[in-house]
Structure 1
Amino acid sequence: MDALRTRAPRAGGSAPRTARAVAALVCCTALAAGCTGSPGPSGRDTRTTAPAVEPMAADDLQSAYQKVIRQVLPSVVQIEAVDSLGSGVVYDDRGHIVTNAHVVGDAKTLKVTAANSEEALTARLVYSYPEQDLAVIKLDRVPAGLKPAVFGASEKAEVGQIVLAMGSPLGLSSSVTQGIVSATGRTVSESRSDGGTGATIANMVQTSAAINPGNSGGALVNLAGQVIGIPTLAAADPALGSAAAGIGFAIPASMAQRIAGQIVKEGKVVDSGRAALGITARTVVDAGYRPAGVAVVTVRRGGPADAAGLRPGDIITALGGQSITTTTSLAEALAAQQPGQRTRVTYQRAGTRRTAEVTLGEQ
C-alpha cells in the first residue's frame, strides 16, 4: 500500500482503436460460424448462418464520448485557493460545489471558474471534512447556465467500465481524459506534505483515466453521464517517486453525496459512518527499526477503547484479524469496519499479549 499513499500533487500553479479491434473479432467469428456444416443429402447447403452482430462502431463510441462531455462538463468547475488549484462538481442549483478538502486547504474564500467561462466567481467555504477529504463551498452568485451534476450509484461501477475524468489538470480548465474502472473497493491512505498520513478512504474507485495535478475534486463520469466518483489521488511509483501512470483513485459518489448532503443541510458532518476506537496513537518500531505496532497515546474517556479496558502504553498489533504495524494500517482496518460493529483487538501490555472485544464508535 505504500506505493498508493500519495495524493495527486496540487497544481499551483486516442482515438478509441479498441472498438475497431472488437468489431474485427466479432466479424471473424461470424464468418467462421457461417462456414461450418456440410451439404445435405439432396445436395442443398444446410449450413446455418449466425445472426449478424452489430458492434459499436468507432464513430458511435466517439459520439457517446462527445454527448457525455457536452452533458457533464458544464457541471465541473475550476477552484483556486491561496496556494492550490483544483476542480469541483456542482452539487445543486443553489451554487453548492463539492470538492476535495485538500483543494480547499485553509482557505475560507475561493475563486471559481465555470466551464467555458473566463469570469472568476467568488465562493465561501461551507465546511471541510479532511477525514474523508471532502469539502463543500458555495458561490456568492449563481451564474446562468450553471448545471448541477447527476450523481450515479458508484456501488454499481464494474471493472472494465469506460469512464471519463473531467477537471482542470495543471490549470488547463475543462480538460477530459478517458480510461476504464480498473478496480473497486480500494482502501487508500493519502500522504500529507509533511510526510505524515492523511485521510484513509475506503471503497475508492481505481481508474486508468489520467488523474493529474488539478484534477482533484473533479468528476469521474460513466457513459450514462453520471458522476460515479470524485478524482482525488494518483499513485506514486516507489522506485521513481513520481506519479505512476494509469493508477488513479476517486472517492465513490455515494460517499460524496452522503457527506455533501449533510454539509448542505446541517452545515457540518453529523454522521460520518466511519468507525473509531476513541484513541490517539503512534507507530512503534522493533529492535530492527521495523514498524511493529501502534502504541496507544491517549484514550477518550467513555469511548470504545476505554470501555474495552485499553490504556495508554498498550501496543495494538491486530484488529479484526488484520495485522496492525502502523497507524496507517490501523486506519485502513478501521475504514473497513462500521460504527457499532463488535470486533477483537489484540494488543501487548508490559510484554504480555492480550485481546479485548471492542464495540466500535464513530469518528
Structure 2
Amino acid sequence: MRIGLCSLVLVCLLVSLSVAQEPSPKVEARETGFFQTLATEAQPKMVKVFGAGAGRVDSFATGIIVSDDGKVLTMQGVFLDGREVRVVTSDGVSHPATILSRNRVSQMALLKIERGTPDYFELTSDPVGEKGDFVVALTNAFKVADHEEPLSATAGVISLRSSIEAWLNKRDLAYAGELVLIDCITSNPGAGGGAVIMGDGRLVGMVGKVINSSETNTRLNYAIPSSVLLEFVNGTLKEETQKQTANAAGNADLGIALFKLGGRSDPAYIDRVKRGTPAKKVGLRPDDMIVQLGGEKIATVKAYEQALSKLRPGEEIFIIVKRGRELKRIAITPVEKKK
C-alpha cells in the first residue's frame, strides 16, 4: 500500500511539472503567426531562377526583386550561361530574363524581366541589423518551389559583421567583400540569392554563394549586406580585389585550338587538344564547348581569347565545358606560352 501511494504521488508530481513546463498555447500561436506573416509578406518580393544545368551543376537559384521595373539580384553560376534564363515570380508565372551585369568579386548577377514589380526590397547604404538581432532567411534551397509554391524560411540571428576574401584556388574567387554572418543554415544548393530579412521586413542582405573551407570541411552561412547590393545595382562596386590588382596577367597557354571557320563570334568549340599540354592532361576533348574560363562566361571565340589573356602561368583555374548534354567543371593549370 505504501508503494502504491508513493507511486501515485510521483505520477502527480511528474504531471504537474509537465503542465508547468508546457508553453502557453496563446504564446505559441502568436509566435507562429508572426513568423508566418513575415515570410508571407516577403514572398512577392522573391523569385525562383532557373537556367542551364547538368550532372552536379545546379540549374536553379533564388533571387530578390530590387526595383519596380523588374530588376532581380541573384548569385553567379553556370546556370546563367545557358541559352535561356527563366525567372518565376511568386504567382507562378515564368518570365524570360536578361542578364544586365555580373561581378566576379562579389559573385552577383543583375537580371531583368519585362514586368512591373511593385513589391520589391528597398536597398540602403546604411547597415541593417546588429549582432544578436532576429532574422529570417527565405530561399529556394534544394528547389523546393517550381511555380507558385512559397520559398522555405529559416530563422536565426546575426552573429557578426565582417569581411572576407575567399578563393576557390589562386585564380577563382568564391567571394570577396563585406558580409553578415548568420547562425541559420543557408549554405545549400539553390539558396544563393535568397533574402535575409529583419523582423520588420527590412532587407539585411542576400544569401551568398556557398563557401566551403578545405581545412575544416565546414560551410559559411552569410549574407551580402544591403549596402553592397546597392553599390552593385548602381554600378559602383569594384571589379578587382587587392590580390588581383597586385598580380599582372601572364603569357598563359592551355594547349587548346578552337574552331574558327565562322570567325571570332562563333561559339568556343575545341577543334584540337595539343599533346603534353594542360588541356590534354585534364582530359579536354575535341568538340567540347567552353562555357566558362577562370570565372568568366565564354560565349564566343573572342571571349575565350580575352579570358585566356588574363590567366597567369602556374595558377590553377577552373574551366567549364559542355560535353554532349553534360556540363563538366575541371581544374586546369596554365603553362607559359612557348615562343
Q: Same fold (TM over 0.5)?
A: yes
Q: Classify 1:67/1:190 alpha carbon distance in 2 versus 1 (closer, same or farther; 3 Å).
A: farther
Q: Deviations over 1:43-70 (max 9, x none)?
A: xxxxxxxxxxxxx944443333222212
Letter in 2 for 1:224: D
Q: Classify 1:152/1:224 alpha carbon distance in 2 versus 1 (closer, same or farther; 3 Å).
A: farther
Tell me what 1:361 maps to. Answer: none
Letter in 2 for 1:232: G
Count of aligned positions: 217
1:230, 1:250 within 8 Å by CA — same for their partners in 2? yes
Per the TM alignment, residue 234 of structure 1 is displaced from its structure 2 partner at its CA by 4.0
Report the Cα distance in structure 1 between the residues aligned to 2:159 and 2:200, rounded to whole angstroms: 18
1:108, 1:124 within 8 Å by CA — same for their partners in 2? no
**Partner-residue secondary structure (3-state), 2:127:** helix
Report the Cα distance in structure 1 between the residues aligned to 2:177 and 2:196, rounded to whole angstroms: 17
Tell me what 2:303 maps to. Answer: none
The reply on whether 1:279 has 2:247 as its aligned counterpart is yes
Q: Classify 1:151/1:71 alpha carbon distance in 2 versus 1 (closer, same or farther; 3 Å).
A: farther
Residue pairs, 1:64-103, within 5 angstroms: 64-83=34-53, 84-102=59-77
Report the Cα distance in structure 2 between the residues aligned to 1:137 and 1:111, rounded to whole angstroms: 10
Tell me what 1:142 maps to. Answer: 115
1:201, 1:251 within 8 Å by CA — same for their partners in 2? no
Per the TM alignment, residue 273 of structure 1 is displaced from its structure 2 partner at its CA by 8.0
Per the TM alignment, residue 108 of structure 1 is displaced from its structure 2 partner at its CA by 6.3
Per the TM alignment, residue 150 of structure 1 is displaced from its structure 2 partner at its CA by 2.9
Q: Deviations over 1:187-239 (max 9, x none)?
A: 141537xx953144222111122212101011111111011111014453657
Letter in 2 for 1:132: S
The reply on whether 1:257 has 2:227 as its aligned counterpart is no
**Partner-residue secondary structure (3-state), 2:99:** strand
**Partner-residue secondary structure (3-state), 2:206:** strand
Letter in 2 for 1:165: A
1:190, 1:233 within 8 Å by CA — same for their partners in 2? no
CA RMSD of aligned residues (A): 3.4
1:154, 1:252 within 8 Å by CA — same for their partners in 2? no
The reply on whether 1:161 has 2:138 as its aligned counterpart is no
Report the Cα distance in structure 2 between the residues aligned to 1:187 and 1:179, rounded to whole angstroms: 21
Report the Cα distance in structure 2 between the residues aligned to 1:226 and 1:120, rounded to whole angstroms: 26
Tell me what 1:122 maps to. Answer: 96
Per the TM alignment, residue 155 of structure 1 is displaced from its structure 2 partner at its CA by 2.3
Q: Classify 1:57/1:203 alpha carbon distance in 2 versus 1 (closer, same or farther; 3 Å).
A: farther
Tell me what 1:19 maps to. Answer: none
Tell me what 1:62 maps to. Answer: 32
Q: Deviations over 1:107-144 (max 9, x none)?
A: 46411111241x321111111112221111111x316x
**Partner-residue secondary structure (3-state), 2:41:** helix
